[in-house]
Structures are given as C-alpha cells and as structure tokens.
Amino acid sequence: MRTLLIAIIFGSLTTSCFEDRDDNVILSSSIHDFVWKGMNAVYLYKAEIPDLANDRFTSNEEYGNYLNSFSSPEELFESLIYQRQTVDRFSIIVDDYIALQQALSGVSKSNGLEFNFYYEPGSTTDVFGIIRLVLNNSEASNLGLQRGQIIHAVDGVELTESNLSSLFGQDTYTLHFADYNDNGTTETDDDSIVSNGSTSSLTKVEYTENPVHTTEIINVGGENVGYLIYNAFNINFVNQLNSAFAEFQANNVQHLVLDLRYNPGGRIDVASYLGSMITGQFNGSVFSKLIYNDDLQELNSTFNFTNSFNNNSINSLNLDKVYVLTTNRSASASEMIINSLGEYIDVVHIGDNTTGKSQASVTIYDSPDLGPNDVNPNHTYAMQPLIAISVNANDGVVPSSGLIPDVGFEINESVLNYGTLGDENEPLLAAALADIEGSLGRYSIDQSIRNTPQLTPIKKDINLKPFEDEMYIDSEFISIIKKEFNQ
C-alpha cells in the first residue's frame, strides 16, 4: 500500500476561508474545532453535508457561533453524519483514543466470551444469551465454557433487552446457565428457557486476541480440506495467518473453507494478503480499490494481489474456488474478501446475510496533521470517520443490505443446533463439506437444519465489543498537511 499524502491548502477551510481574518472569537471548546475541521478534511460524504462545505462560513465569528451552538463534541459530530440509520452507520467519535487504538490492534479487556442474544419465546423484552465463541487461552476457555451454552441471568438478574449492556459491561460477573426446552414440538410458541442451576464467575483482563482462531485439515473423499476460523484482519498477526497457509500447503490442501462468521473486519492490506494466500495466480492484479470524496480524488488507490509482505513470501494455495461462511456479524474486510475474490474465482457463500459495510475509515486525532503525533494534550478525543468506499476490480460495491448467501446455502445459526466450531457436523461447515464431497448439491440443504427453531435475535446495535465493525487504513499511511490549520 502506497503512503497516502494529502496536501490540503486551507484557502477554502476554516479561518483561512473567512473574509475577516482578524476576528477574535472564543470557542466553546477546541474539541469542537477539531471535530469540524477533521470531518471537513476527510469525510467520505462531505458533499452531502451542507455544514461541511468549504465556503460554509464567511467569518471567524460565524464559525465560532456555529461551534458554540453545540453542547458537546458528540452532538456536533452526529450533526455532520450523513443518513445515520441507512448510509453511514459506522463513523464514530470517542473520548479515549488509547482505548480505540488498543481495540483496533486486538487488545481489550475480555473474559474470552462472545454472545448472541435472543428474545425468549413469546416475549418482546425478556432475553437469553448463547455463547457463540470462546476465545483461545482466555479465562473462559480455562474454565471449560463452551459454545452453545445458554445464559438466562447475570449476577442473579434475569436478562432483558434494556439491561444487557450494563450487566455484561461489568468487569466481573457471574453467569447463570439454562437449558432450552422445546416442549417436544417444532413450534417455538410453547418453548421456554429453564434454569439448570449452573453458574460461572468471570473477570475481564487485558487480552490480545490472535484472530487465527482455528486451523484444521479435514479429509473428504480422499482430498484434504483446509478449514480456517479467522476473526479479524489484524496486521499484528499476519505472520500467524501466513503460517496457517504454510500448514495448508504442507498438507496439500485442495479445498478451503474460510470461516468469517464472527469477523467484523480490519485492515484492508491484510484482506489483500489473505486474498493472495487463497489464490496466488493473480499477482499484481487489482484486488480492491478505494475511492475518496470529491476533494481527495488524488488519493484513490488500489490494493493488488501480491506474493509477499514485509519481505516475506506469501504462502499461496492457487485455488480457483473457496467456501466462505458468514453471519450478520461478518463485515467490512470480510465482505471485501467475498466481493473482491468473486471477480477472479468461484466463491461459495454459505450462512446468513453479511452486515453491508463497504466503507473504510481512519483514526483522526487533534494534531497538526490529524495523525497520531503531536496530539493536543488537553483531551483524548479522536474520530473514526468513513473516508473512502471500497470496490472490487470491476467497481462492484457491497450493498448496504449485505451480501446474500448462494441460493440453497442460506443457513442461520440455530438456537438448538449451534454445533461445535470445526466439527464436521456443525451446520455451516457441514454444508461446505457436503458440497465438496458432491453428496449435497448446490441447491438443497438438509431440512433438519432448516427446521430447527428460529427465534428473534436482539438488534445488532447492542454491541458488547466496541469498535469492532471497522475496515480501516492505519494512520501511518495518512499525512494531512494543512496550511493555517488552527491559526
């Protein structure tokens, strides 16, 4: 990825665009000033927000009065977001950029559990949770907790939609487990969640997740199938990802099942590396392109398939077909894999619709060049705005409604059939293996999978893992040079 260099002459921005340059205005907060200038400089949807126009203000006084009209940086930031509910669902502002940096690098406080939440049968308020993922080498894994276990209460308090964040947001809590009673019928109206009396207490600690969660070699019909659970496109673990493909190479893997069901995204360059590991025969061809706003068209860039990274050779499988497993938690760079590889090889998409996020972001700091150096020491605010949209080699974009699985391969994770990740009978993996073996066919799924209870999940915006839905460019690749900034 080439170094991105933005030369922005602020003849049309902030104080340098005002006719009266000598006005002395006391701003309500320098943070407000940072928010507006940062969004004006890089926001993808700048052209759609009149208040971000370069000629929006005619004087310092008008600009200062505008900033002072907002009670908080968050209020100002939200006023500058384009269609929050439908288009820009992902730009964020934070009051602690250190926590943001740690989260984007895979470091956070965690007990090793990730959950899905559902309404209890017949209720629109009462909730139960299911452990969807147990992270390796975590407190939860050490305690023997397993995927599929049901939680009905925390610290003795029954779960509701309104208390999830407060209960699970604690550093220490006790889980109360339950069983799902289907009452011997296939209907859900008479089902119930029944406490089984088991509990487990956990404490969150600083945890660094290796996103290469699981690698396995599965023999199907005399051929080796590689199976990879990959949970984040993290540059700090790209060597581990490459090592996983070295293992696949050594075992003469002829098919690959890539499990991205809980992968919310990450670094764009890492996505291009993964695409290159899966293939290998397209070195130098366009993997993905980034398109910026009208003011920053000189930044439009491409990410190519490559045979190396950081002077390391990429271990490639040279496949012309790959199976990708997804849920509605699969976002950003995960969707890029499907969208970009699909222009070159057969991508069999199995599971549920993806999130629908094709935009990339970058961390913006209150500093002279909006980068992480020489940051204003008086606060720790930062922004992670959308700055570009990703398209594949033929300019195809991921729709905001998400990518739809292939016909016949639409499988939702079911309450009663979560299965064990990596087990050949886990429904999503089983569908891929059956297609590889040729006993299933592209257009039929075992009806026992379809007929398991389908309950209403809690809305996705109840998110216990902050900052996860990001496809981003690291700040080291952006230098914004501004004249008269903050003058």
Name residue 410's amino acid. E
Name residue 217's amino acid. I
What is the predicted pLDDT for the residue at 457? 79
Phi-psi region of 107 (alpha: psi -120 to 50; beta: other; left: phi over 0): beta
What is residue 109's three-state secondary structure?
A: strand
C-alpha torsion 414→420→424→426, nearest 10? 0
For strand 92-94 and strand 223-230, is the pairing parallel, antiparallel, or unpaired?
unpaired
C-alpha torsion 55→58→60→64, nearest 10? -70
What contacts 324, CB < 8 A, 6 or more positions away? 258, 260, 337, 338, 347, 348, 349, 350
What is the predicted pLDDT for the residue at 106? 75
What is the predicted pLDDT for the residue at 480? 41
Question: CA 381 to CA 383: how far, in whole Å?
Answer: 7
What is the predicted pLDDT for the residue at 435? 95
Question: CA 329 to CA 310: how far, in whole Å?
Answer: 30
Name residue 384's amino acid. Q
For the sheet with 92-94, list strands across it. Answer: 92-94, 382-384, 364-365
What is the predicted pLDDT for the residue at 454? 66
For the sheet with 212-220, list strands across it. Answer: 212-220, 223-230, 255-259, 321-326, 346-351
What is residue 276's three-state secondary structure?
A: helix
State how far the alpha carbon of 250 is from the alpha carbons of 21, 217, 242, 363, in Å.
67, 11, 12, 39
Question: CA 335 to CA 330: how far, in whole Å?
Answer: 7
What is Dmax (Cα atoms) for the chain?
A: 79
What contacts 320, CB < 8 A, 6 or more positions away? 345, 346
Residue with tokens 């964020």: 92
What is the full DSSP assignment across 437-482?
A: HTSS-TT---HHHHTS--PPBPPTT--SSTT-S-EE--GGGEEEEE
- Tokens read off for 143: 């305690």
Q: Domains in the chain, ordered, with CATH?
A: 4-84+477-482 (no CATH), 109-208 (2.30.42.10), 212-472 (3.90.226.10)
Question: CA 266 to CA 430: how far, in whole Å?
Answer: 27
pTM for the complete prediction?
0.87
DSSP state for residue 19 in the 8-state scheme:
S
| pLDDT tens-place values along the chain, 487 residues long | 333 333 332 333 333 344 443 444 434 589 999 999 999 999 999 999 999 999 999 999 999 999 999 999 999 999 999 999 999 999 999 999 998 888 877 788 999 999 999 999 989 999 999 999 999 999 999 999 999 999 999 999 999 999 999 999 999 999 999 999 988 888 888 899 999 999 999 999 999 999 999 999 999 999 999 999 999 999 999 999 999 999 999 999 999 999 999 999 999 999 999 999 999 999 999 999 999 999 999 999 999 999 999 999 999 999 999 999 999 999 999 999 999 999 999 999 999 999 999 999 999 999 999 999 999 999 999 999 999 999 999 999 999 999 999 999 999 988 888 999 999 999 999 999 999 998 544 434 555 555 455 677 786 444 455 555 555 555 444 444 333 333 3
What is the full DSSP assignment across 236-253?
A: GGHHHHHHHHHHHHHTT-
In 148-222, DSSP assigns E strands to: 150-154, 157-158, 172-181, 192-203, 205-208, 212-220
C-alpha torsion 385→388→390→395, nearest 10? 150
- Tokens read off for 25: 């205005």
What is the predicted pLDDT for the residue at 473? 57
What is the predicted pLDDT for the residue at 446? 54
Phi-psi region of 460 (alpha: psi -120 to 50; beta: other; left: phi over 0): alpha
Contact 381, 93 (CB under 8 A): yes
Question: CA 377 to CA 380: how far, in whole Å?
Answer: 7
Give per-residue pLDDT as tens, 424-483: 999 999 999 999 998 544 434 555 555 455 677 786 444 455 555 555 555 444 444 333
Contact 111, 205 (CB under 8 A): yes
Angle between helices 333-341 and 268-278 (to 10 degrees): 40
What is the predicted pLDDT for the residue at 456? 73
What is the predicted pLDDT for the residue at 452? 57
What is the predicted pLDDT for the residue at 187? 84
What is the predicted pLDDT for the residue at 50? 98
